[in-house]
Amino acid sequence: MRLKIVQDALKEKNITFEFTEEDGCGSLDFLFRGLKFHVWEYQDGIWGAETNVFEAGRSEDIEGDYEEIIAREIRSWPDMIA
């Protein structure tokens, strides 16, 4: 299973998500406060993920320790009511 750290952060926040895996890369799609978010992993010589968790209307590529960076942002969001 890919993107486990990000999945764990979403679970901690009670955010429902859809996970798929294709060609060894993980993909997460979810809603938070009515906005659509995604984390789409890629491997293009270097591992990374395209995401819009930092700004809902704009995607950006995160490389390096991308799972920890994205999970930290998600954990900073307000809690969802269970």
pLDDT in tens, 23-49: 999 999 999 999 999 999 999 899 999
Residue at 80 is within a domain: no
The DSSP code sequence of the chain is ---HHHHHHHHHTT--EEEEEETTEEEEEEEETTEEEEEEEEESSSEEEEE-SSSTT--EEEESSHHHHHHHHHHTSPPPP-
pTM, rounded to two decimals: 0.93
pLDDT in tens, 47-57: 999 999 999 99
- What is the tally of structural domains in the chain? 1
Range of the domain at 50: 4-75
Residue at 42 is within a domain: yes
